[in-house]
Chain A
Amino acid sequence: MISELKVDLQNLLNSIQISIHNSNTSSELENIRVNSLGKKGSITLYLKNIRDYDLETKKEMGAYLNEIKSQINKLILDKKFFFKKEHLKVKIKSEKIDVSLTPYEAEIGTLHPLSRTIEELCAIFADMGFSIVDGPDIESDYYNFTALNIPEEHPARQEHDTFYLQPDIEGHRKVLRTHTSPVQIRTMEKIDLKNFDEIRYIIPGRTYRSDHDATHSPMFHQCEGLVLGKNINMGHLKGCLIDFCRTYFNEDNLPVRFRPSYFPFTEPSAEVDIGCKKENDGSLVIGEEEDWLEILGSGMVHPRVLQGVGIDPSKYQGFAFGMGLERLTMLKYGIPDLRPFYDSDLRWLKHYGFLPFDNPSLHSGLNGVFS
């Protein structure tokens, strides 16, 4: 009896196996599952029927039936998994896009090359212990000239091409600062001599001269520097500015020459040249020792300037320097013409500008290599 039953069941199992194997869709498979293992399924019926048998038979047949049931279950699951895989294969095969296409997106903006230069200067001088300060663009005659040892009749005034604003009721006329040097005076005036040891400042900013041609703009930028202390001498001036030039132009062995010159507010004064080579096409290679290129003016702060702001020149001395930022920028980044700096032409800005996250620093470099 048991063996008969087993043979029947084995036959049933075989036929179910065959129908699972032959099934082609998930719903066919589901029908097979319902017909075999469902509430009224063939295997379930067998399971219900064994309740009527004796204990021994019940036990043996129960185990046998469960074995068959789990076999069917596994077959169905395997087949289900097979269907899912097949389905995905078909789906993936049908899912294709045109990778050549690119949607439009507005480009990221750029920073002006002059801002870049100012930031580079800040990085270099900050490393040497300088702080950044600023001052007004509209100046009195006193700060722009007189306090800097340039009295009314001084020949140097004629070289300044000063812009004047309309005079006030008393006839005083303000000027647009012709250099960043007046901020030296404003800075020194603020010194509290009781608690004074040393100051180091750079002052980048807008400057103005009434001159407009290929190499002059009525507005341009300068960066002033001022170091004042008890024992600051020309050696420090030289050390500081050589370091600056070499760092800015990224040339360890950049030739730097100091040459006597004259500025009313410094004495002794020095003009600073860097070595370069003029190529046949008119371009410049910086770092060669063939020709010299004037890059900045400097000198020891004139005793009369110190006296003027109440500082005793026998106790304190220091140096000051000034440079044209457009020129520095043009030289470093090979920009041939001054005028487009202020023309806001998008093509120029994109070409010569810098990405906002390209931050000049001593650790990641000062040359904007990825731009």
Chain B
Amino acid sequence: MKFTWKWLLDHLETDKKLSEIIETLPKLGLEVASVVNLAEDLKNFISVEIIDVKNHPNADKLKVCKVFDGKNTFNVVCGAPNVKLGMKSVFANIGTFIPGLNLKLKKGKIRGEESLGMLCSEKELSLSENHNGIIELENSSELGLSISDIMDLNDPIIEIEITPNRSDCLGVRGIARDLAAAGAGNLKDLNVKFNDGEFDSIINWHVDLDEDEEYLCPKIFGRSFTNLKNDESPSWLKNRLIAVDQRPISSIVDITNYIMIDIGRPLHAYDIDKIKGRTLRISKSKKGDKFFALNGNTYELDDNMLVISDEYSVDDLAGIMGGERTGVTENTTRMFLEAAIFNPVSIANTGRKLNLNSDARYRFERGLDYNSPEIVMHYAAAMVNKICGGKFSKIVNFELEQKNRIIKFDPNTVYQLTGVKIENKLSKSILEKLGFKIVSVDNMWDITPPSWRPDIDGKADIVEEIIRIHGYEKIPSTKLARSNYIAKPAMSIKHRQAFFASKILASRGYNEVITFSFLNKAMADQFNGGRLALNLVNPISSELTDMRPSIIPNLLLAVKKNLNVGAQDLSFFEIGPIFKGDSPSDQISTITGIRYGEKIKKDWQKEAVQFDFYDIKLDVSKTLDAIGVPKNSIKIFKDAPNYFHPGRSAVFKIGQSIIANFGEIHPNIVDFFGFNKSAIGFEIFYENIPLPKRNKISRPMLKISTLQPVTREFAFLINKEIESEKVCMIAKSINKDLITDVIILDIYNGEKIPQDMKSVAIKVTIQPIQETLTDSVLEEISANLINAIEKKLLGSLREI
């Protein structure tokens, strides 16, 4: 919402300075977006008369002019087509900053002719986009004056952001009213001269709606004007409209636009001579109706849009835009003026369906002053009469009886909600200044909000009005007391698991990324997603159409982007959602990671080693360890999803629940991304990890033996298809009390080993608990171990 300082002063009587008003507005909830003071920017542009024009000797399109500012004469080279002798225009001297060109004028020669300044277009002054020629001032203009005085530009322009509830401030008067209520001055009287009109209106209304649908148009007023002269508007009116970005068109249109900004009341003017018949009918459209709008576009209407038609066709989309056919032109002499209240919901729906925005729609769908149609009939009539002459008719109108909007209010609510003690007298006076009517009944107030505040519909709204005028700065700053001091973690176990995992992974060399929750359809399909329910109707690009079924593709893309800018070894992880369906339980939070490239780089000390399956397996195991998953609860399986390499991937499960998928990404996918090395990834479904049953904080007693542990090494020949880890598991099971650790030292299937066999060497740590173990006990353990391997794996001890 843009307005000018002088415009505001039309409605507000105040001794406050502009700067004080600018400071007050945000305190009322009217956020100031900008303040532009053209007088300051344009003070060096002055009015001159062109007293000599000659053709430039060296350029066909240029003229060499002499301009006179009342005292001095300047030589200027000018290329404008409209430059002519005796014309008055705008001149900028050497050294002036030209806002439209963003440069400071320098003395110079143009094709050999000296130029001591510049004659300017509106564009060069940043007044408009008009660059067709230099500005032509009225012949009566005094010479040597600042252009801001001559063109009435010394009026600062203020732009404020209006929240959707404050339709009353979409007019200058509403802003003035708020400022007055806040003590920044007094609201001037609108000075409406009521005049009943001289003759019966030429055009009449016909509300063609069923009784139960009349609420769509609860009020509509109109009156006819005759003998008009629809010329160009006077300059004061044009200047004001230009200042607030409204293009001056003709007096009648300009007046309707002016009143819309002035009191927030949109109007529509019809050319009576273009209306077929003598009745305008308000009705609902039929699907297929065509509407030729003022903006030059044709709209095909749906059912149930509120329209106004003459005998010929629809020619007005109620509250949104008038029609081309019945619009006023410079030839209009008879005009019918419409002011109505339409149902905001209906306007909003129509506007949205047709994707048609207008200043009128903006105001209608936010709600208008219910009393405005009647007032504006008189307010506008006086203005039209003054500018366009002619006569005006009696008013024709349709209106439904207005429902009473009384809100029962307990004044204590103010303290209850805000924590500020405001005397009832003060609250009441604030509300009354804002136009509320209050009747006290037994310590309760019956409040009627003003007609221009359709947004007020409850106690909380009333409190907001009081506190915003009283001042938010008067609200105390109260500490939120802690209700209990027993330390309770703010995060759930699941949140903490995610936090912990991120720290473990980062310390293992992974960099955390955050990527979009959507990806392209092909990738969604590749990772077993792409369901219709997870497809966006209005994606911002064809690369971001589907909710992701896995984070792995996003991380692969991250790897690719970094490889493209020269990175080589990459480890990324992301903790975030994946989507299996559109219900809340289909959203699964995962910890997903990718490694690519070398784990160890070749240097003077070491040879290069690539990341492989086992690195990722360790990453997953260590992460699960750190987030409290008991090692022995996890079982490993080989049925990883199809986006993993079938022979180099695995799944960790607890019971039937998948805890993690990990391994090499499928070579087809790696190839698709154009990688020349394999990528290894994992996804941890930490939401599937069962919560610990035990709630004990204290830990079991630690038993430490003082006796030296003993180690024994063995090598077994087993079938090479057998999982090597089984040797360890069997070894451990021999004596769970004494055997504390078994590690695989070596796996060998080279020389001297039969083709289908492999040698697995293990080291077993035996920890005596109470007494040193005798040779015979150790012998027995060894013998049992060898026996078990022979029996369970059909293996045999190999002599080392």
B151 contacts the other chain (CB 8 A): no
For A134, A137, A234, A292, the residue with the greatest tally of chain B CB atoms inside 10 Å of its CB is A234
A195 contacts the other chain (CB 8 A): no
Q: Is the CB of B538 within 8 A of A114?
A: no
Q: Is the CB of B507 within 8 A of A233?
A: no
Other-chain contact of B511, A156, A258, A303, A350 (Cβ < 8 Å): A350
B165 contacts the other chain (CB 8 A): yes
Q: Knowing A106-B509, A115-B512, A344-B572 touch, does A155 contact B365 (C-beta < 8 A)?
A: yes
Q: Knowing A163-B536, A168-B533 touch, does A233 contact B419 (C-beta < 8 A)?
A: yes
- Give the interface residue-count category, chain B: 35 or more
What is the interface size of chain A, counting residues whose CB is below 8 A from a CB of the partner? 95
Q: Knowing A101-B604, A106-B509, A166-B535 touch, does A129 contact B472 (C-beta < 8 A)?
A: no
| Residue-wise interface mask of A (216-229) relative to B, using a CB-CB cutoff of 8 A (1 in contact, 0 not) | 00110000000100
B290 contacts the other chain (CB 8 A): no
Of all chain B residues, the one with the shortest Cβ separation from A162 is: B538
Q: Complex formed: what's the CA distance from A212 to B518 in Å?
A: 14
Q: Complex formed: what's the CA distance from A359 to B507 in Å?
A: 13
**A341 contact set on B, CB distance < 8 A:** 514
B286 contacts the other chain (CB 8 A): no
Q: Is the CB of B513 within 8 A of A344?
A: yes
| Residue-wise interface mask of A (116-127) relative to B, using a CB-CB cutoff of 8 A (1 in contact, 0 not) | 000100100110
Q: Is the CB of B492 within 8 A of A357?
A: no
**B467 contact set on A, CB distance < 8 A:** 234, 260, 268
Q: Is the CB of B418 within 8 A of A109?
A: no
Q: Complex formed: what's the CA distance from A227 to B557 in Å?
A: 40
Which of the segments A42-50, A53-61, A66-74, A237-245 contacts the partner chain? Answer: A237-245
Q: Complex formed: what's the CA distance from A233 to B122 in Å?
A: 54
**B555 contact set on A, CB distance < 8 A:** 344
Q: Complex formed: what's the CA distance from A272 to B478 in Å?
A: 16
Q: Is the CB of B165 within 8 A of A262?
A: yes
**B484 contact set on A, CB distance < 8 A:** 129
B505 contacts the other chain (CB 8 A): yes
B468 contacts the other chain (CB 8 A): yes
Q: Is the CB of A262 within 8 A of B540?
A: no
Which of the segments B22-30, B86-94, B710-718 contacts the partner chain? Answer: B22-30
**A107 contact set on B, CB distance < 8 A:** 509
| Residue-wise interface mask of A (246-283) relative to B, using a CB-CB cutoff of 8 A (1 in contact, 0 not) | 00000000000111111010011111000000000000
Q: Is the CB of B517 within 8 A of A208?
A: yes
**B570 contact set on A, CB distance < 8 A:** 346
Q: Is the CB of A234 within 8 A of B417?
A: yes
Other-chain contact of B460, A138, A267, A344 (Cβ < 8 Å): A267
Q: Complex formed: what's the CA distance from A238 to B417 in Å?
A: 12
Of all chain B residues, the one with the shortest Cβ separation from A163 is: B536
Q: Is the CB of B514 within 8 A of A342?
A: yes
Q: Is the CB of B502 within 8 A of A111?
A: yes
B163 contacts the other chain (CB 8 A): yes
**A174 contact set on B, CB distance < 8 A:** 533, 582
**A152 contact set on B, CB distance < 8 A:** 345, 349
Q: Complex formed: what's the CA distance from A208 to B537 in Å?
A: 14
**B513 contact set on A, CB distance < 8 A:** 112, 344, 349
| Residue-wise interface mask of B (492-534) relative to A, using a CB-CB cutoff of 8 A (1 in contact, 0 not) | 1001000100111111111111111110000000000000111
Q: Knowing A109-B571, A344-B558, A349-B511 touch, does A206 contact B344 (C-beta < 8 A)?
A: no
**B483 contact set on A, CB distance < 8 A:** 129, 197-198
What would 6 A/B residue contacts be, using CB atoms closer than 8 Å?
A: A125-B490, A210-B539, A260-B29, A262-B165, A342-B516, A346-B511
Residues of A that sit less than 8 Å from B by CB:
101, 103-104, 106-112, 114-115, 119, 122, 125-126, 128-138, 152-156, 158-159, 163-168, 173-174, 176, 197-198, 200, 206, 208, 210-212, 218-219, 227, 233-236, 238-240, 242-243, 257-262, 264, 267-271, 292, 300, 302-304, 317, 341-347, 349-350, 353, 355-357, 359
Given contacts A166-B537, A346-B567, 9 further A-B contacts (CB under 8 A): A109-B512, A164-B538, A174-B533, A238-B478, A240-B480, A259-B31, A342-B516, A344-B557, A356-B505
